Amino acid sequence: MTTPARNHLATYEPEGDLMTLNYGPQHPSTHGVLRIKLVLDGERIVEADPHVGYLHRGVEKLAERLSYVQLTPVFDKNDYVAPMTNEQALVMAFEKLLAIEVPARARHLRALLGELGRIASHLLWLGTFTLDLGGALGGGSTQFIYCFRERELILDLFEALTGVRFHYNAHTIGGNRHDVPAGWAAAVEAALDQIAARVPEYRGMSVENGIFVARTRGVGVLPAELALGLGITGPNLRASGVDHDLRRDAPYHVFDAVPVKVITRKEGDCLARTHVRLEELEESLRLCRLLVGTLPEGPICGARPVKQPAQFKIPAGQAYAAIESPRGELGTWVVAAGGPSPHRLKIRAPSLHALSALPHILPGHTFSDAVAILGSLDPIMGEVDR
């Protein structure tokens, strides 16, 4: 694979003076804390240089000091838009090392929570993306609030299950911490119905809206070869025409028995990424209905609860577990040395890979497009910087 030239400045002949612009970290649409150093010729971007690290908390180093069971609530904060998937990727790596069999009910519940989280995450993405395109004082915020209204339904479900609205700590080594409360399945069905009924509204305000299409079609085309070379996964990769989804290609939880329709698009532009996420949202709605209807009976944890975290040890070894988070392959690689905490722990965050595409696809676009492209990649800075 040939990586396209990154240094556009060397060969660029500007019409006038170039302007260096720091897009972020204090900017309404840099998704928290990201800085992109842009070199502009008028409104056209000549070079883009993303700087990450503003949200660095040293989580991976912290993991070397905390005990295994203390890690799930900390890791919730990585991808703060889909906390459930963080926990799952973490405990699955530990379970691999311990060779614990997770009971069917727990695996089923994990898959269901993952899919619910995907719906919530894609809703939030759609809301913030249209906010980027349409502004906080205008149609963008209208769609944003609609999306948050439906996302709230899912947070309510999680709250009923775990008692917490956001940083759940719902998973534990060997299974889940909480069994479903009475009437929860019916509540899930009701919430899914309500969201499904409103998907056409989202379509009307996004992919079926002339202005939205004008702003996204042909903008920020990410070629499949470049995406593969940069290790981009998830909807961003699928929108570039690569048929890859860990739920089908490396099944975990219950996905070896539950077939998942993998949505792909060829164009690789912002519009394709929107289409992919919207269709994934609908696919997740279908999966959730299926999973909540077929939740098997049985225990929800395959290991005894840990009473003394400092005494809980994992034998020496290495393991890598990855799941398909709403943003792509979210993996945890853990090296255990036999002690009560990991010797080394590494997170493979899909958002970091997505951001690495910016220097390649931003040049040549106008500054307005930069906002759209950044938004369409769905980066979550919490997991980029960790």
Partner 1 sequence: MMALLMGGLVGVVALTSILTATALGIWFERKLSARMQTRLGPTIVGPFGLLQPIADFLKLLQKETLIPDGADRLLFVVAGPFCIFLALATAAFVPISPDTGLGLDSGLIFVVAFGAITVIPIWMAGWASRNKWALLGGMRAVAQAVSYAVPLVLAALVPVLLAGTLSLDGIVAAQQGFHWFALWPTFPGLPAFVLYLGCLLAEANRIPFDIPEAESELVAGITTEYTGMRFGFFYLAEYVHTLVGSAVAATLFLGGWDGPIAPGLHWLVAKTLVLYTVIYWIRWSFLRLRADQLMSLCWRYLVPAGLGLVFAAAALAQVMP
Q: Does 371 sit near partner 1 (CB under 8 A)?
A: yes
| Shortest separation between residue 146's beta carbon and partner 1, angstroms | 8
CB 43, CB 368: distance < 8 Å: yes
Q: Which of 68, 75, 125, 146 touches partner 1 by CB under 8 A? A: 146
Compute and round to an integer the Cα radius of gyration of the chain. 21
Q: Does 217 sit near partner 1 (CB under 8 A)?
A: no
Q: Which of 209, 233, 240, 376 touches partner 1 by CB under 8 A? A: 209
Q: Which of 85, 88, 130, 233 touches partner 1 by CB under 8 A? A: 130
Q: How many residues bind partner 1 (CB under 8 A)?
A: 32
Q: Does 240 sit near partner 1 (CB under 8 A)?
A: no
Q: How far is CA 121 from CA 148, 226, 360, in A?
A: 10, 25, 26
CB 122, CB 284: distance < 8 Å: yes
Indicate the SS3 state at residue 331.
strand
Q: Does 139 sit near partner 1 (CB under 8 A)?
A: yes
Q: Does 37 sit near partner 1 (CB under 8 A)?
A: no
Nearer to partner 1 by C-beta: 115 or 269? 269
Q: Which of 14, 18, 27, 203 touches partner 1 by CB under 8 A? A: 27
184-205 helix and 139-162 helix, angle to the nearest 10 degrees: 170
Q: Which of 48, 109, 111, 131 touches partner 1 by CB under 8 A? A: 131
**CA 192 to CA 119: how far, in whole Å?**
10
Q: Does 133 sit near partner 1 (CB under 8 A)?
A: yes
| Shortest separation between residue 272's beta carbon and partner 1, angstroms | 18
**CA 76 to CA 166: how far, in whole Å?**
8
Dihedral, 156, 157, 161, 162 alpha carbons, nearest 10 = -40
Instruction: Give the angle 86-55-166 at the CA atoms, nearest 5°.
Output: 40
Indicate the SS3 state at residue 90.
helix
Nearer to partner 1 by C-beta: 19 or 257? 19
Q: Does 368 sit near partner 1 (CB under 8 A)?
A: yes
Q: Does 67 sit near partner 1 (CB under 8 A)?
A: no
State the residues that interact with partner 1 by CB under 8 A: 19, 21, 27-29, 43, 130-142, 145-146, 149, 209, 211-212, 214-215, 366-369, 371
